[in-house]
Amino acid sequence: MHIVDSGQAIPAHRVDHSQLFSLAGSSYVVLGAGGGIGEHVCRTIVGIGGRVLCVDINEEPVAAVAASLRMPFLASSASTAG
């Protein structure tokens, strides 16, 4: 995949997405933010101007991710008592 910029093709993996759009003023809740894809999503959103509430069932990893991004976190299970 390539993206065309000023007539020159740029490999997609080399695109600085912050130059394509901004999420400034937007807020998101990311589940599974303590690691893996959820952590990467948080870092991407914050990297292009958005704010996130990092949520995970494991407090220690989600707290570390949130602290590194200077964003709030919530450690909670999504299950309900039945």
State pLDDT tens for residues 39-78: 999 999 999 999 999 999 999 999 999 999 999 999 987 6
Per-residue pLDDT averaged across 25-38, rounded? 95
What confidence score (pLDDT) does residue 11 get?
Answer: 58
Strand partners, 3: 10
DSSP annotation of 53 reads E
Instruction: Calculate the average pLDDT of the chain.
Output: 82
For residue 54, what is the enclosing H or E element?
Answer: strand 51-56
Q: Domains (ranges, CATH) in the chain?
A: 23-82 (3.40.50.720)
- pLDDT of 15 above 70: no
